[in-house]
Amino acid sequence: MRGAWWVALGWLWVNVAWAAGFPVVELRIADIRTAMLEDGVTCAAIMQSHLDRIARLDGALHSIIAVNPDAMAQARALDALPRAQQRQLALLCTPLLVKDNIDVRGMATTAGSRLLAANIAVQDAATVAAVRRHGAIPLAKTNMSEFAFNYQGASTMGGRTRNPYDVRLSAGGSSSGNAAALAASFGVLALGTDTSGSLRVPAALTGLVGLRPTHGAIDTAGVVPLSPSQDVVGPMCRTAADCVQLMQVLAPAAGQRLTSLSGVRIGVVRALLPGDDRSAPFVTVVNDLITQLRRLGVTVEDVDVDDVHALVGNVAPVGHTEKFASRSAFDFPPAFASYLHTRPGKADWTYANVESGLRQLNTQGLEGDRVVQDVMLFGENARHRDGDRRAVVNGQFRDHYVITRLNRTLAGAPLSGKPFDFLMYPSVQGFNGSVYVGPKTGGTHRLSAYSGYPAVAFPAGWAKPADGQALQPVGVELLGHRDDDGKLLDFVRMLEEHLQGRVVPCLDQHD
């Protein structure tokens, strides 16, 4: 009897102590399981603390478009489960952030556009349904570059997303809200999309891990399309360990796993490192990472990728006048029109309705002037696709050209003749840009997008630009062989134990 009384008193003390807010900064999946299964904290308390943090701090970031009105009810439902059932849920009570081009039942899927403000999802996207079955709770829909068109992270629904490390800087795009909200500890996991670099670019700018999975590895049902032959859904997390757990839910057969850093072989594409004076501290962090990798038994060699500047879209491939670019400039109009045909109230819409609807919204002086111009331009591209040299170059020719050269590089190390496991290069070209300009990407993210091979962005360390701005993450990307998604994440998970710890953004005095 006395033991039961002390247990009850302990449970009461824990919940009273956290009544003012469960500590959520830098929370991990494992922390939530410990809090609920061992310390007696309720899921409702965990969710409420995240909601309170969003309400208190997001006004400066514009990372959240809408919070889920059913989140607390879902939390209480998890609290009502027997402890044995709770233990079986791999993502028990994990607050999930969802990019607002991915369906969450009962919430609008806007893709950042007021044109879709009434586009209420009647069911979860396949990915959201999967994580919900394992105990995660969709907590909020996040801001994004409208229709996922660019890397600037602005939309008519959510305004302009700002970076939690320095609100004067960009959070990238198009999954800008995911990145800013996750770095600010508004959630623990995030689901985003990546057509060309939309997961990895914002992850690199906010010190996060972002995986672009092998194309086709994860179901994209319930997602607003941009270019179906390039679109993927993928995880964004504060730690690779959390991304490993999320990928085990999203793609249980995610390919080969890794058990040791020793013996891994990496080719560094040094031609893609930034060369300007301002980025010298950035390059120093990358070189320090290479030194650390070698100490850990990883073989690291510089490699040359044939025609690398053509592969990333900086120059035209030999014999052509048009550069490689995302197919979204041609694919969006028919793909989006087909998507609208499946949505309530828009079954009879054509792309012309989209163009006219956006022109009307533009008269309200909203954030979407550039989006309207892009939508009109993409419509013209699609209508005149036949015979357009850009469309020809960026069809199967582009994919074969990129894959052939990447395979050639991965297959043979210049010093040893042995194949590489991964290629390494920066996710963006040096340090961040202002919130109104966005980052200089250098096109490195295109290697994964145009080949369909998986790539993971992660922070190699932190540094200040040579001009003395605030401390910024240095984002590095690893590209692996097809279906090596699990191997990539395992590598970063093990490497994290040896790298500088995460720098937590200081958003207020309570952090």
Query: Exposed (0-12), middle (13-18) or buried (19+): which is 370, by Cβ within 10 Å?
Result: middle
> Strand 299-302 vs strand 265-268: parallel, antiparallel, or unpaired?
parallel
User: In this structure, what token pair is assigned to residue 152?
Assistant: 């600037």
Instruction: Determine which one of 99, 141, 323, 487 is catalytic.
Output: 99
Nearest alpha-carbon partner for 213 in 479, 476, 455: 455
Instruction: Determine which one of 49, 63, 155, 174 is catalytic.
Output: 174
Please report, as a single letter, which amino acid is at residue 423: L
| DSSP string across 56-96 | HHGGGT--EEEE-TTHHHHHHHHHTS-HHHHHT-TTTT-EE
CA 97/CA 192 separation, integer angstroms: 9
Judged by DSSP in three states, 330 sits in helix
Judged by DSSP in three states, 263 sits in coil
Active site residue 99: yes
Per-residue CA distances from 422 to 145, 246, 271, 290, 486 (Å): 30, 22, 16, 13, 13
Instruction: Determine which one of 185, 198, 279, 326 is catalytic.
Output: 198
CA 32/CA 347 separation, integer angstroms: 42
Q: Which residues are catalytic?
A: 99, 174, 198
